[in-house]
A and B are shown apart, each in its own frame.
Chain A
Amino acid sequence: MDARQRSPFTLAVTLVALVFLFVPLLLVVLFSFHKTGGLSFPFTGFSLRWYRDTFGSFEFREALKNSAIVAVSVSVVTLILGTLAAYGISRATSRLRAPIGLLFFLPITLPGLFIGIAMLVSFRRVDFQLSLATVAIAHFVYVFPFFLLIAKAALDRLDPALEEAASDLGASPLKVFRKVTLPQVWPILVGATSLAFALSFDEFIITFFVIGSDSTLPMYIWSSLRRTIDPSINVISTMLMLITLLLWVIAFAFTLRAGRGRARPVDPILGGEQT
């Protein structure tokens, strides 16, 4: 039953928007392979010299390493605390459910600028040395609501009868979670964790205030933007986009996987059933 409509105007807008979205990003990738140092047309030929330069740079490797350390710690902590919290809030009947839900959602509503400076003054107030640890804490606050929203939506969609049946047959709450709940939602949790990783890996607005003297990949790009432009910034930008894109593909694939075996396919992007 194809109720598909013909809509040339909306199709045209979509195509123009795709060009608008992709051309700037593809130009960055294109110029990362430029033979000369030029950053504008004419494009004179391909070479990998900027990739060699960049990977040879100690600062770049250091920034990449720091970004990875922060993003891995943030994802692990978010996966554990986020899954517990999502399960708790999704199964709760207590009156405290609403205020806790609000607290979990609140960081999304505040611009990063405010979160960043509030954390800066607080860390300074208690003499907590700014480091990668403070960056990881700030990133946790930032990515937690995103993880929670996805995980909670997945848990809310489950058929409660399955858990109740297991519980009535004598399984402990932990066993119910491990044997009944987790097998149904783990692909979504993997997807949400890679989203957390990607968000942390690319975060700049809050990071800027709480980082101290270390560097991350976005910080490295930021400082290159302030200096004279060197084509290696295209390389670093391309790497950063490639890594986050890879994580998005993982998230997308796992969410698609979560939809298999159901009567109706699950929408890979929004979750929920496709209609």
Chain B
Amino acid sequence: MSVVAHEAKESAWRGRELRIGPLVLTLPAVLGLVVFFLAPLAAFILYSFLTAGLFSVSGPLTLDAYRQAVSSGVNGTLAVNSFIVGICAASVTLVVSLPIAYWLRYAAGRWQTLVLFLITSTLFASYLVRIYAWRSILGENGLLNSGLERLGLIEEPLSFLLYNRFSVTVALVHIFLPYVVLVLYAGLRPLTPALLESAEDLGANAWKRWRRVILPLIAAPGATAFLFVFVLSAADYVTPQFLGGTNGAMLGIRIQAAMTGVGDWPLGAALSLLMLGAFVFCYGLTALGLRLLRLDRIRFVN
């Protein structure tokens, strides 16, 4: 928008005596989010510093819940599991999404709209249905084992398929893959097929095109997508509950149990905030990494 147009618009609003201007229109939504999102979040933070009753809390302010959260060895194991599953799910999703996004952008041709539609349509397959589907596929009497047995490829059902970190990761990759493909595809949009071809014509081989043209373009969206999958996977409490067994149990299950089962709200709140702190640390680390590698300000001018 040009400066002149900008000023013209401003004066149009000012001419009608709307000093705060159009922002007044955001008021209902702001109120809604302050009351139903920020206030609960603040209350929740406060709760982590209180003492637990049964589904209730009482003062004075204390760090007991945090002490209890970090002193338990079980919580440590669950946190490690959450971390491993989060990293695996995010890495696999990213690595698989890259070639797909590339194909969609530069090689799909007339198939592009159809395949994009197909991939995004699976976004809308219910979260719980996916978990259920993977449980029925990977189980001892599941579709995979019964299929392999009928084909005579195995005699005994494979038991390592379900109730561990592997099965949790598979389901999470299934859930997040379409999102990440979309994010990377969007990242590649400024670089038109013709421009990529001109890089080739100017003598850049496949490796150089990848290293000097494509990677800088998708570093920021790729890192964002990685974090997104990592955070949502590590904080999941439903997938590990149904697919994790004991090997794949994660911290989210413990938080959920503290909130609804045991009724120890300060512990649940303290565990959540510790986890949130770890996530914020990861956000910061990624932002710093991108900045150090000078990948945070790539601007592509067509």
Interface residues of A (CB under 8 A from B): 1-7, 9-11, 13-14, 17-18, 20-22, 24-25, 27-28, 31, 39-42, 80-82, 84-85, 87-94, 96-97, 100, 103-104, 106-107, 110-115, 117-122, 124-125, 137-138, 140-141, 144, 148, 160-161, 163-164, 167-168, 172-173, 198, 202, 204-205, 208-209, 218, 221-222, 225, 229, 233, 237, 240-241, 244-245, 247-249, 252, 267-270, 272, 275
A6 adjacent to B107 (CB under 8 Å): yes
Per-residue CB contact flags for chain B residues 113-135 toward chain A (1 = under 8 Å, else 0) read 10111111111111111111111
B100 adjacent to A269 (CB under 8 Å): no
B26 adjacent to A270 (CB under 8 Å): no
Inter-chain CA distance A110–B37, complex, in Å, is 11
Inter-chain CA distance A172–B238, complex, in Å, is 51
Contacts A275-B190, A275-B302 aside, 18 further interface pairs with beta carbons under 8 A come to A1-B194, A3-B194, A5-B197, A10-B100, A14-B100, A21-B178, A27-B133, A28-B129, A41-B150, A88-B23, A89-B23, A113-B256, A121-B40, A160-B5, A168-B8, A225-B242, A245-B124, A248-B124
Contacts A13-B99, A120-B259, A164-B12: A205 and B238 contacting too (C-beta < 8 A)?
Answer: yes
B12 adjacent to A107 (CB under 8 Å): no
Which B residue's beta carbon lies closest to that of A163? Answer: B9
Contacts A91-B9, A117-B44: A24 and B130 contacting too (C-beta < 8 A)?
Answer: yes
Q: Is B223 an interface residue (CB 8 A)?
A: no
In the complex, chain A residues whose CB is within 8 Å of the CB of B135: 225
A13 adjacent to B100 (CB under 8 Å): yes
B109 adjacent to A117 (CB under 8 Å): no
In the complex, chain A residues whose CB is within 8 Å of the CB of B25: 84-85, 87-88
Contacts A10-B107, A28-B133, A107-B33: A248 and B123 contacting too (C-beta < 8 A)?
Answer: yes
A-B residue pairs in contact (CB < 8 Å), sample of 15: A5-B107, A14-B104, A17-B100, A20-B174, A25-B130, A27-B133, A27-B136, A94-B21, A117-B259, A164-B9, A173-B13, A204-B127, A218-B127, A245-B125, A275-B189
- Interface residues of B, CB < 8 Å — how many? 106
Which B residue's beta carbon lies closest to that of A83? Answer: B25
Contacts A5-B197, A10-B107, A94-B20: A164 and B8 contacting too (C-beta < 8 A)?
Answer: yes
B132 adjacent to A233 (CB under 8 Å): yes
Q: Is the interface of A mostly helix, strand, loop or mixed?
A: helix
A150 to chain B minimum Cβ distance, whole angstroms, is 13
In the complex, chain B residues whose CB is within 8 Å of the CB of A245: 121, 124-125
A50 to chain B minimum Cβ distance, whole angstroms, is 14
Interface residues of B (CB under 8 A from A): 1, 5-6, 8-10, 12-13, 16, 18, 20-26, 28-30, 32-34, 36-41, 43-44, 47, 55, 96, 99-100, 102-104, 106-109, 113, 115-137, 141-143, 145-147, 150, 174, 177-178, 181-182, 185-186, 189-190, 192-194, 196-197, 231-232, 235-238, 242, 252, 255-256, 259-260, 265, 268-269, 272, 276, 302
